[in-house]
Structure formats: C-alpha cells, structure tokens
Amino acid sequence: MKLSNKFFVAFITSLLISISSAAYSFTACQVTDIGGVDDKGFNATAWKGVQDAVAKHGIGSKLLESKAETDYVPNLNSFVAEGCNVIVSVGFLMGEATANAAKENPNSKFAIVDFAYDPTISNVLGLIYNTDEAAFLAGYLAAGVSKTGIVGTFGGINIPPVTIFMDGFVAGVNHYNKTKGTNVAVLGWDPAAKEGLFTNNFSSLDDGRAFAQNLYDEGADIVMPVAGPVGLGSAALASELGTDSLKIIGVDVDQYVKDTKNKSVYLTTVEKGMDSSVLNAIEVAKKNIFTGGLYVGTLANNGVRIAPYHDQASAVSNSLNNEIIKLKSSIINGFISVKN
C-alpha cells in the first residue's frame, strides 16, 4: 500500500509530537491573556519564568496564546486534556476561567498571575504583587524630577492589577508634596473616586501615543502608562518629543531592556518579579509540595522593585536617589504607608 506524501507528513509530525511529549516527565504550560507572549510585559515575563524552569530543571514547556477572551476556557481545557503538570494562566481577566478549570479538575495544578482568590483554591497558587509599594517610589521620583510640576498616568482597563500601580504612584507624589511643601499635580487618576484615564485595551499603540499626548498637552512631563504594550506608543511619542520634554515610567518589566527602540525615554520601571514567582510555582509543583494558596511579591522579598535609571541617571540628583533608598527601607519596615 502506497501512502500519500500528505498522509506521510501528517503521520511523521504526529509521531514527533508524541515522542517530544513523552521525552519529559514534567511539563509546564502557559496560557497568555490577549496581550500575547510578545507583549514586552507580564505575559513575556511569566513565560521567561517557564523558560527559566526549562533551563534549570530540563522540563518540557508548552504555550497557548489567547487571541480573544473566549479563548481562555478552551486553552485551559486543552492543557488539562494534554496532562500538563502545572498550568500557568496570566492575567486578572483569566481569574474566573482558571477557577472553574481548577474546580472541574481537582487533580490538575494551576498558578495564575495577578489574581488572588478568597477563599483560596487548593490546587491554584495565586501570584499577586504589591506594586503600589514600588509605584510609591516611582511617584516620589517623578515628583522630584518633574520640571513642570505636573505628572500623569493612565491605565489599560480599570481593574485592580492596573489601578494598584496608579494608587501607589499618586501616593508617592503626595508624600513628596507633604515632605517638600510642594504641589506637584497628578493627572489621570483619582484614588478616592477610583476614576481616571483608561484606554480600555492592552494592545493599541495609537491609544498609548494619544493618551500620552493629551497628558503632555496638559503640562505633564513624566507619564506612567499602566497598559502593557499600549505604553510603547507613549514611549515612541517621548522619543519624538525628546526626553527634556517627556519622560516615561514603564511597568511590569524593565522597559529600558525590552523597548530597545525607545530605551532612553524611561526614567525607571515599576517591576513585578513575575518570572521568579512563576519559576517558584513550577518548582514546588515539580517537587510535589504544591499546596495552592497565595504568593505576594513585595519590596521586602524583591517581588516588586523599581528599575535602574539607566540613561536618565543624570536627571536624578544624588540627594533624591538617597531619599528613594531611605523610602524603600521605611516602607519595608512599616514606617511609611503607601496607601493614599
């Protein structure tokens, strides 16, 4: 019997996939949100944690990118069916789908970035980050560097993992004003009313440019976009205007390293250690000591931090930098609250 070339190729491909899957006794799988794995932010950083586990422990890895929110459930179910040893879902918007998948499949292990369940779920490890602690430092820094006395921020969607950055940023500016007797203004977010500027997406670079332009037109010379890849549009605008006119504060992962086209515009980045927390979640699953529950990244455990000033170091005086260092210690030791 003669096999067609098409059948033969399909057979060999299926065989190779089976061999590849069988080659690993443990496989970590990640489902991204709609931002995709190349978002230069939290999806990419979480995937780095998976790849760090691959390099460190020689495990297998798989990835499914969600193109729409309707992909969350089938992507999770697909990995359950494939027998992934731990499934990492990324993003607050995946909270409900992940909870349902975990409850329907109690023998499967899950970790989710940016979501905390109350009560916790025994087979899900929630990975959350007190980014307001690091954003507080960024807000204080921005107030100290601003020449116009006006700074701004905007978000992607009005959800807690976004607004926690904005809360901390405003609190840091307020602390600077209280300490220095100044009146630096923050545009784009009102922590009390929980209202502000939102693009309502995490993908449009055009929106990032437009929102930053509007804040700049209102006098802001430093802007912190909390909107994933949307912020790349803000950075592109800052590159065109020049950093003497507009500086950007990045989020999630050091944007000076990720956004190489516009790296000089970043004053700093409010970072979340998603790679290390995802790596840890995979390791405890591999060691069979996975218990679910909650991990909280803080300044104290380096789960959140601000990135180096890189090309903008000359904009930060020695005295201001020393104040930032002292503030970090005071927050860790509980002497200063980052809440507004």
Q: What is the pTM of this model?
A: 0.86
Question: How many domains are there within the chain?
Answer: 2
279 in the same domain as 266 = no
Give the model's pLDDT for residue 13.
41
324 in the same domain as 285 = no
State the residue range of the domain holding 140. 131-271+309-332
Residues 122-151 pLDDT 10s = 999 999 999 999 999 999 999 999 999 999
Query: Is 135 domain-assigned?
Result: yes
Query: What sign does the CA torsion over 278, 279, 284, 288 have?
Result: positive
**Residue 22 pLDDT grade (very low, low, confident, very high; cuts 50, 70, 90):** low
Closest CA to 209 of 149, 154, 150, 269: 154
Q: Are 87 and 72 in contact (CB under 8 A)?
A: no
Count other Cβ atoms within 10 Å, centred on residue 110.
29
267 in the same domain as 205 = yes
Burial class of residue 151, CB neighbours in 10 A (0-12, 13-18, 19+) = buried
Residues 107-130 pLDDT 10s = 999 999 999 999 999 999 999 999
Q: What are phi and psi of 257, to 5 degrees?
A: -80, -40
244 in the same domain as 153 = yes
Residues 43-102 pLDDT 10s = 999 999 999 999 999 999 999 999 999 999 999 999 999 999 999 999 999 999 999 999
CA distance 133 to 141: 13
Give the model's pLDDT for residue 267.
98
242 in the same domain as 149 = yes
**Contacts for 181 with CB less than 8 Å, ≥ 6 apart:** none
Query: Is 64 domain-assigned?
Result: yes
List the CATH number of the domain containing 200.
3.40.50.2300
319 in the same domain as 170 = yes
Query: Is 52 domain-assigned?
Result: yes
Give the model's pLDDT for residue 5.
53
327 in the same domain as 189 = yes
Q: What does the pLDDT average to over 225-242?
A: 97
Average of per-residue pLDDT values in the chain: 93
